[in-house]
Amino acid sequence: MTAGNDLIVIGGGLIGSALAWGAAREGARVTLLDEGDIAHRASRGNFGLVWLQGKGLGHPDYMHWSIRAGQLWPEFSAILQEETGIDIGWRGGGGLHFCLSEDEMEARRALISRSKAEGADICIELLDRESLREIAPGIGPEVRGASLSNLDGEVSPLLTLRALQNAFRTHGGEIVVNFTAERIRHDRDLGFIVSDATGCEFTGRRLAIAAGLGANRLASQIGLELGLRPERGQIVATDRVAPFLRHPTNTIRQTSEGTVLLGSSHEDAGFSTGTDMETIARLCRTGTRLFPALRSARLLRAWGALRIMSPDGLPIYEEAPEMPGAFVVTCHSGVTLASLHGLELGPALAEGHLGPAPRSMRSVRFAVQTT
């Protein structure tokens, strides 16, 4: 058994790494337990958007929580680069949601109006076709316009994960790889004890479960039922092409290296991370309708990855009532919320509470809905 920690974080993806880094920056002794490449790691398949326009409508707490994350992203990116020297590919300045019909334009107008009515601290502008051509001159003839928000941006999920883990180590954090947490128990003197199938154990005064789709079985051991389910998304990547798109969009973005990503789908496929030609063809058709010049681009690869979805699609931030000091953090917006998880929630967990996390994001809401 290892010496005790202030905090053990289970899950080495973007969520767990951000929490661990944030706690370690506050001086906490933190161990991050990472299952390794066998995990259904969402950061490997993430589209890389920091996306706020339309997020959280009808759920004010989630909307304001997400917008706060968007506002923190420039600071978050700058700190990571200063601590590691890694350029994580952060690019702000707004994102575009394309419209291919007048009905879609009207739907964006309604979204903008509703965002204002619900107090969203975000500027969303609706661009007609001619205004859009000034910033995206290669759009196809079917494109009617787009909405442009000031907070949306893009980033490399893999470089962000690398930077978080490197920075975590510089603050004294320990990462244990290829560790699959199997059992959680609590001891009055030792605190929380996490063990794997071999009996290897780690102890800590506090515990944070950020294990993605593996959180269901772990949370049940601390008295919480989460009901998380997988949702598959597929993404297509092309070879490098000349720069043509300065803003990320809801379905297409060009990386700083010049490759183009087309995505993404929403599929109920269980735990399968496979791909299928029908979805790949649909993503390619959408991409070429938006930018016809992409018809000459060469497809390099396609992949599928799993999102972590709660019963209502919203995050879960909760301390186990039966085991104070044990927390669960899960969401499907690990990129967008990474800034907030690292800069505010991680430090709060180091002190033994959830800080500014909305109380409406507790899992008890599912029991209320069922009742």
Q: What is the DSSP string of 146-182?
A: EEEESS-EE--HHHHHHHHHHHHHHTT-EEE-S----
Give the pLDDT confidence score for residue 38 in this predicted structure: 58
Q: What is the mean pLDDT of each run of 10 residues along the chain (371 residues)?
A: 82 96 98 80 76 94 96 98 97 95 97 95 96 96 97 94 97 96 94 96 97 95 95 95 94 93 91 93 96 96 93 96 96 95 98 95 75 38
Give the pLDDT confidence score for residue 4 in this predicted structure: 78
Residue showing tokens 């005064």:
205
From residue 147, give the alpha-carbon distance in Å to each of 51, 98, 106, 220.
Answer: 12, 7, 11, 42
Residue type, 67: I
Residue showing tokens 């010496």:
3
Give the pLDDT confidence score for residue 278 in this predicted structure: 96
Do the beta carbons of residue 354 and residue 327 sit within 8 Å? yes
* 3-class SS string, 102-120: HHHHHHHHHHHHHHHHCCC
Do the beta carbons of residue 161 and residue 16 sit within 8 Å? no
d(CA 269, CA 182): 25
Do the beta carbons of residue 138 and residue 293 sit within 8 Å? yes
Give the pLDDT confidence score for residue 371 in this predicted structure: 38
Q: Residues 1-4: contacts with CB within 8 Å, 24+ apart?
A: 1/193, 1/201, 1/202, 1/203, 2/31, 2/201, 2/202, 2/203, 3/203, 4/190, 4/191, 4/203, 4/204, 4/205
110 class by beta-carbon count within 10 Å (0-12 exposed, 13-18 middle, 19+ buried): exposed
Give the pLDDT confidence score for residue 63 in this predicted structure: 96
Do the beta carbons of residue 167 and residue 113 sit within 8 Å? no
Give the pLDDT confidence score for residue 53 in this predicted structure: 95
On the CB side of 348, how many CA atoms lie within 13 Å of its CA?
A: 17
Please count the residues of the chain.
371
d(CA 184, CA 170): 28
d(CA 231, CA 233): 7
Q: What is the pTM of this model?
A: 0.95
Give the pLDDT confidence score for residue 366 in this predicted structure: 85
d(CA 266, CA 110): 23
